[in-house]
Amino acid sequence: MYLRSCKSSVMIIVKRRRIFFLLLVIIVFIVVIFEWHSDQSSVRTFPTKFSERDYVSFPVFQENTINHITRIWKPTKSRARVFDMVEDQLVKSECVLLDTPNGTTPICIYDPSNDRMISSYVKDYGTWEHDLLNATGSVFLRYPELSFFDLGCNIGVYTLYVAKLGGHVVAVDAVWTSLSLLHTSVKLGHFQKRVTIIWNAVSDVYENVTVEIPPSNVGGAHLVSKKSTDSSDFTNLVETVTLNDFIEFFKSKKVFMKMDIEGYELRALRGGQDFFESVDVRYILMEWVHHRYNDNGNKIIHILLPYGFLPYTNINQHIMLNIDRSNTWPENVFWIKR
Ligand SMILES: *[C@@H]1O[C@H](CO)[C@@H](O)[C@H](O)[C@H]1NC(C)=O
Ligand SMILES: *[C@@H]1O[C@H](CO)[C@@H](O)[C@H](O)[C@H]1NC(C)=O
Ligand SMILES: *[C@@H]1O[C@H](CO)[C@@H](O)[C@H](O)[C@H]1NC(C)=O
């Protein structure tokens, strides 16, 4: 009797194991199907898949030679420096195609293994921050007379996108190498008449600052306000200007501004009183993620409200954000002048 019951309980255990195993197989199967399906739909969002993209290779420069490149710029009436380049210093880099509603345009990128965020994504999908680009584009298609002020342009995704839609752009960045890439993209797209490239950082004081570039993410380049006396630091040194130095570029124009300067937004706005009083800025697309959890958010709000700007989640849906709860705002905010 004892033996029999023992045997039957062994059988039950064996059966249970089988059922358990079967369940496991079913669960794994469901997970695999689900993953496959979501993979398919994410590919569908970006129809230009990596393998289907056309590649173009144009002469630019090797990144490891960049520190030996002579830096030249054209002076302006203000302190802003218009980027210039010694053409015979061009060597080789990769340029891929950026998608816009008006067809594709070449964009020269960093080696994706050195720039895992933007260059790598642009190479694979032909776009970056697709929803924000789309929102920006829809404004330019509606108001083609706007000028675009791309503050923190990086390799120029927004600049080239807007230029391809026929807009005029002033593109600013502190990182010389990114501007060299953009300079080539502008030439390849024949946008020389529409795009002005400026090599400066933007702040509320005039000084020399050091640009720090995180490993594998040039888009995360940010400024460190330290006076360097060490001349070997020269490669990452950049001079700041204020927004007021850009007034001459936007006289009697309506402006769409994009600010993505990695936490320096507040200082840039503080130094821009004359700019906001004499230039008709209609839209500001601002990266908010750096300001969410510190007091800079409130300070930015109190600079922009008196100029007539109100914050929105989206340029089309017109959902206004709650001024008192800026810590709940999304990663990017549209300020629209009312
Ligand atoms: C933005 O996306 C919408 C919906 O996908 C599309 O109809 C529209 O043409 C796009 N606009 C731009 C400027 O890309
Ligand atoms: C679209 O691109 C073509 C050539 O690439 C250009 O001739 C045309 O002006 C562009 N459209 C707009 C609205 O700028
Ligand atoms: C920055 O450094 C350069 C070269 O050392 C110098 O000529 C220039 O005056 C400095 N600019 C400021 C604002 O300190």
> Which tokens sit at 2?
């004892």
Does ligand 1 come within 6 angstroms of the Cβ of 101?
A: yes
Centre of ligand 1 from the C-alpha of residue 285, in Å: 18
Question: Is-contact 195 163, C-beta < 8 A?
Answer: yes
Q: Is the CB of 138 under 6 A from ligand 1?
A: yes
Cα(205)–Cα(308) distance, integer angstroms: 25
327 Rama class: left (phi>0) / alpha (psi -120 to 50) / beta:
alpha
pLDDT of residue 73: 83
Ligand 2 site, residue 166, Cβ cutoff 6 A: yes
134 lines ligand 1 (CB under 6 A): yes
b/e per residue 104-126 (b: at least 16 CB within 10 A)? bbbbbbbebeebebbbbbbbbbb
Residue 102 CB less than 6 A away from ligand 2: yes
- Whether the CB of 34 sits within 6 Å of ligand 3: no
Q: Is the CB of 314 under 6 A from ligand 1?
A: no
Ligand 2: which of 164, 169, 191, 195 to mutate, judged by most atoms within 8 Å of the beta carbon?
164
Token code pair at residue 199: 């090599």
What's the maximum distance between 2 C-alpha atoms anywhere in the chain? 104
3-state SS class at 236: helix
Helix (H) or strand (E) holding 300: helix 296-304
What is the pLDDT, as a whole number, of residue 43?
32
Q: What does the pLDDT profile of the chain (338 residues) look like in tens digits? A: 444 554 555 555 556 777 777 887 777 766 655 555 544 433 333 333 333 333 333 333 444 444 556 677 887 889 999 988 766 555 457 899 999 999 999 999 988 888 888 999 999 999 999 999 999 999 999 999 999 999 999 999 999 999 999 999 999 999 888 898 999 999 999 999 999 999 999 999 999 888 877 777 777 777 776 554 444 445 578 899 999 999 999 988 999 999 998 888 999 999 999 999 999 999 999 999 888 888 899 999 999 999 999 999 988 777 899 999 999 999 999 999 98
d(CA 313, CA 138): 15
AA identity, residue 5: S
List, for residues 67-112, the tens digit of each pLDDT value. Answer: 556 677 887 889 999 988 766 555 457 899 999 999 999 999 988 8
Binding site membership of 76 for ligand 1 (Cβ less than 6 Å): no
DSSP 286: E
In order of start, what are the domains of the chain with their CATH numbers? 65-337 (3.40.50.150)
State the pLDDT at residue 8.
56
Report the pLDDT value the prediction gives residue 7, as an integer from 0 to 100.
52
Question: Cβ neighbours of residue 24 under 8 Å, at least 6 residues apart?
Answer: none
- The pTM of the full predicted model, rounded to 2 decimals, is 0.79
Ligand 1 centroid from CA 160, angstroms: 17
| Shortest-distance Cα residue to atom 14 of ligand 2 | 166
Cα–Cα distance list, 292 to 171, 314, 326 (Å): 26, 17, 6
Angle at which helices 176-188 and 157-164 cross, to 10°:
20
Nearest residue to 136 (alpha-carbon basis) of 126, 150, 125, 123: 150
The long-range contacts involving 11-19, CB below 8 angstroms and separated by at least 24 positions, are: none
CA-nearest of 326, 334, 178, 202 to 262 is 202
For a pocket test of ligand 3, which of 208, 223, 235 has the largest count of ligand atoms closer than 8 A to its C-beta?
208
Among 134, 143, 165, 285, say which to mutate for ligand 1: greatest number of ligand atoms within 8 Å of CB: 134
Beta strand spans in 6-90 (E): 56-60, 72-74, 82-84
What separation in Å is there between the alpha carbon of 40 and the centre of ligand 1? Answer: 21
For residue 299, how many other CB atoms are within 10 A of its CB? 15
Angle formed at CA 228 by CA 226 and CA 232, multiple of 5 degrees: 140
pLDDT for 169-196, tens place per residue?
Answer: 999 999 888 898 999 999 999 999 999 9
Q: Tell me what pLDDT residue 38 has.
A: 46
Taking CA atoms only, the protein residue closest to ligand 2 atom 1 is: 102
Q: Phi-psi region for residue 275, left (φ > 0), alpha (ψ -120 to 50) or beta?
A: alpha
> pLDDT value at position 30?
65
Cβ of 141 below 6 Å from ligand 1: yes
